[in-house]
Amino acid sequence: MRRIGILTGGGDAPGLNAVIRAAAKVLFKHGVELIGFIDGYSGLVEKKYRVLDRWAISGLLHRGGTILGTNNRDNPFNYPVKENGKTVFKDMSDTAVKNLNDLNIESLIAIGGDGSLAIARELWEKGAKVIGVPKTIDNDLMGTEQTFGFDTAVTTATEALDKLHTTAESHHRVMVLELMGRYAGWIALYSGLAGGADVILIPEIPWKLENVVKKINQRKEEGKPFSIIVVAEGVKTPEGELVVKQRIDESGDPLRLGGIGQKVAKMVEDATGFETRVTVLGHLQRGGSPSPFDRILATRYGVAAAELALKGEYGVMVSLINGKIQKTSLAGLKTTTRNVPTDSEVIYAARKTGISFGD
Ligand code: F6P
């Protein structure tokens, strides 16, 4: 019986289960067995897996998270191993490739963001037959127009903005909403526009406090003594400082961003006299049921990945290009952040409708 493996790596994103389900449905039709590795690449290194049968994939379309578990630390090329009571980091990639061979797994579908897909590429270079599927709420991956999870995060953030509006208006306050997105402003831009923010600060556009203050005061003069500011976590202070909440050294991307919202709020309160409050939406953006768009995109990706696996086409990532599902070579995949283009038509529309980017 043919056997194909699947894993989910990095931070979770709504739609992971929908990819697993779609890939499984295609593979089962062809009599292929699907092996799900537990907790991302650590399951591959430690041979922790479960056979996914048709019951395991039932009821998954709308379910957030991942039934396989994941983590955004364990990398087979720099893997934590206990030695004499201490944790040391070792290259366990040979073990990972060997485990695939030992289990008679002909190829591996790796669903992940930039870190997990970089690992997928390195495993491919070592001889593992890998197919990547792009995931992240941040939408910051090169080689695809959109990752699944982003639309759901934008929906959640937009709902939060709708709620902040009513309380901001009642109390005549400035409300600051800090959103995820790492070094890119996709979530902040899209939800800020959808949620009617007055100011959107994103890492791609350097900002000045005086411009934000001007917008808030202008609204006050127009009879709107309240404002909503959306801040992406990757926004730097006007002095160019990146605000870091935590350092996780064993993670491929050790910095955990957070705290810029608080800084912006303090500056705005001091400069305008408006009472200001901060909401950090945090992991709510990663949780819950995927939106219909993400269910559909995840299903399209899952089907495409399974079809590539059946055909024996490896070393590629399924991607969305010009609205169509295509494939991108993992070898040629740039590892840099895909930022919001500052000449984006979405930014243009935001500016034309009076949103300030603080520039
Ligand atoms: O990449 C997804 C993401 O949610 C980022 O937006 C955020 O900066 C980071 O992961 C948070 O990571 P963790 O779950 O380790 O706190």
Judge whether 338 and 140 are in contact, CB under 8 Å. Answer: yes
What CATH class is the domain 152-286+341-352?
alpha beta
CA of 53 to the centre of ligand 1 (A): 31
**Residues annotated as part of the active site:** 138
Fold of 3-148+290-321: Rossmann fold (3.40.50)
Query: What atom of ligand 1 comes closest to residue 286's alpha carbon?
Result: 4
pLDDT tens-digit profile, the chain (359 residues): 999 999 999 999 999 999 999 999 999 999 999 999 999 999 999 999 999 999 999 999 999 999 999 998 889 999 999 999 999 999 999 999 999 999 999 999 999 999 999 999 999 999 999 999 999 999 999 999 999 999 999 999 999 999 999 999 999 999 999 999 999 999 999 999 999 999 999 999 999 999 999 999 999 999 999 999 999 999 999 999 999 999 998 787 889 999 999 999 999 999 999 999 999 999 999 999 999 999 999 999 999 999 999 999 999 999 999 999 999 999 988 889 999 999 999 999 999 999 999 99
CB of 20 closer than 8 Å to CB of 57: yes
The CA 210 to ligand 1 mean position distance, Å, reads 30
What residues does CATH 3.40.50.460 cover in the chain? 152-286+341-352
Q: Of all residues in the chain, what percent carry a pLDDT higher than 70? A: 100
- CB of 182 sitting under 6 A from ligand 1: yes
Instruction: Tell which atom from ligand 1 comes closest to the C-alpha of 187.
Output: 6
Q: Quick one: which of 315, 62, 286, 270 has its CA closest to 180?
A: 286
Instruction: Record the pTM.
Output: 0.97
Instruction: Among 66, 135, 137, 245, name the best residue to mutate to test ligand 1's pocket (greatest count of ligand atoms within 8 A of Cβ).
Output: 137
188 C-alpha to ligand 1 centroid (Å): 14
Lateral strand order in the sheet of 174-179? 199-201, 227-232, 174-179, 276-280
Ligand 1 and 232: CB distance under 6 A = no
